[in-house]
Amino acid sequence: MTTIPTLTLNNAVTMPALGFGVFQTPPDETVAAVRSALEVGYRHIDTAAAYGNEREVGRALAESGVPREDVFVETKVWITDYGYDSTLHAFDKSAGKLGVDVIDLLILHQALPSRFDLTIDAYRALERLLADGRVRAIGVSNFMPDHLADLLAASTVVPAVNQVEVHPYFRQSEVLAADAEHGIVSQAWSPIGGITFYREAGHTSTLQDPTIGAIAAAHDRTPAQVMLRWHLQQGRSAIPKSVTPARIAENFAVTDFELTSDQLAAIDALDTGRRGGPDPSVITLEAFGREIPEA
Ligand code: NDP
């Protein structure tokens, strides 16, 4: 079975660099998708309270027969649950649905720029959970360099991970640089550019990109595999999503070829500077708040 390289987080916990995402995977398809991923060899699953499928991720883990300690389970606290006590309770909700005692990586899903006080209180709750051994690592998602600076000024534990939109059409070099400067692992969401397929972003899909296509042909690989290889060779974690068993396997088969430095640079050069997802600076409770059900 393929072994995926691991990344060592800033608190010495190791994390498989390649994980399996389940955003927009309907609950009734999640058990099969996660089972399929675990069968192929993924040992890192990325979900979120806001995805509404933590229970099904937990069911797949339990039914798979893979020992709990062999799978790195990552989930996210939604903004509605920010605040010290609310975030402590968000852990109970997520752990309850996932059916685990300990969450490997718990991250804040978004910065909440208009209520950064709540964001900091939420992060303090993560620090408490870490100190109590309820989570093995803590981190953030969609934090821009200014959000990171404000968080670092108000907290003790440097986030282990910042999960942000990174794909060949939107590389966010300044975020990657800020993460690196602070010893934070950058984790790519929409790593093969999924957001470029299902949102109108003024350009074609990364899967149809001629530069990526030519590199894929040169290695007898697929565009998705080339993009995942690009992330791994640049030291990022990547969490591709699929509900399609053949693609789940394809996205995992990325350890036995190597892109050249010219090929990596050619992919870097595809950056359009245009994000596909929402601008992290406009996330507000009013526009994006929604209740996360109890476990
Ligand atoms: P991805 O880049 O993973 O792309 C997913 C899309 O690509 C799906 O439509 C999937 O289709 C398709 N696909 C997957 N593999 C292949 C392949 N080999 N060839 C062709 N098509 C393929 O985008 P996502 O936006 O889903 O991001 C991945 C994960 O990142 C999410 O699941 C989630 O865990 C995380 N995420 C986090 C966010 C955050 O704010 N923190 C925001 C967005 C995502 P199909 O499933 O039909 O096979």
pLDDT digits (tens, 9 = 90+) for 186-196: 999 999 999 87
- Whole-number Å distance, alpha carbon 154 to ligand 1 midpoint, is 33
Distance CA 91, CA 106 (A): 8
Residue with tokens 């565009």: 223
pLDDT band at 154; cut points 50, 70, 90: very high
Closest C-alpha residue for ligand 1 atom 42: 189
Distances (CA, A) of 87 to 28, 95, 225, 262: 27, 12, 36, 45
The residue-averaged pLDDT of 188-212 equals 84
pLDDT band at 1; cut points 50, 70, 90: low
The residue-averaged pLDDT of 195-221 equals 85
Closest C-alpha residue for ligand 1 atom 11: 242
- Whole-number Å distance, alpha carbon 84 to ligand 1 midpoint, is 31
Q: Which atom of ligand 1 is nearest to the CA of 244?
A: 48
pLDDT above 70 (res 12): yes
Distance CA 219, CA 221 (A): 5
Q: Quick one: pLDDT at residue 235?
A: 98
pLDDT band at 125; cut points 50, 70, 90: very high
- Whole-number Å distance, alpha carbon 192 to ligand 1 midpoint, is 7
Q: Quick one: pLDDT at residue 279?
A: 95
pLDDT band at 200; cut points 50, 70, 90: low
Q: Which residues are catalytic?
A: 51
pLDDT above 90 (res 3): no
Q: Which atom of ligand 1 is nearest to the CA of 22?
A: 32
Distance CA 1, CA 285 (A): 44
Mean pLDDT score of the chain, rounded to an integer?
A: 96
pLDDT above 80 (res 227): yes
pTM > 0.85: yes
- Whole-number Å distance, alpha carbon 64 to ligand 1 midpoint, is 22
| Pocket, ligand 1, Cβ cutoff 6 A | 21-23, 46, 109, 141-142, 163, 189-195, 197, 207, 222, 224, 239-244, 247, 250-251, 277
The residue-averaged pLDDT of 258-277 equals 96
Average the pLDDT over each of 1-10, 65-74, 90-99, 255-264 and give the range with the smallest value: 1-10
Closest C-alpha residue for ligand 1 atom 18: 247
From 242, 250, 252, give the residue whose CB has the most ligand 1 atoms within 8 Å, as the site to mutate: 242
- Whole-number Å distance, alpha carbon 21 to ligand 1 midpoint, is 7
Q: Which atom of ligand 1 is nearest to the CA of 247?
A: 18
Contacts of residue 3, defined as CB under 8 A and 6 or more positions apart, other chains included, come to 41, 255
Q: Quick one: pLDDT at residue 2?
A: 65
Q: Which atom of ligand 1 is nearest to the CA of 23?
A: 32
Q: Quick one: pLDDT at residue 201?
A: 54
pLDDT band at 4; cut points 50, 70, 90: confident
Closest C-alpha residue for ligand 1 atom 6: 194
- Whole-number Å distance, alpha carbon 197 to ligand 1 midpoint, is 9
The fold for domain 15-195+235-243 equals TIM Barrel (3.20.20)
pLDDT above 90 (res 197): no
From 18, 189, 207, 208, give the residue whose CB has the most ligand 1 atoms within 8 Å, as the site to mutate: 189
pLDDT band at 204; cut points 50, 70, 90: confident
For residue range 41-71, what is the model confidence (pLDDT) as tens digits? 999 999 999 999 999 999 999 999 999 999 9
pLDDT above 90 (res 25): yes
Q: Which atom of ligand 1 is nearest to the CA of 163?
A: 41
pLDDT band at 213; cut points 50, 70, 90: very high
Rounded percentage of the chain residues whose pLDDT exceeds 70? 97
For the chain, give every domain's residue range. Answer: 15-195+235-243
pLDDT above 70 (res 74): yes
Residue with tokens 């509404």: 52
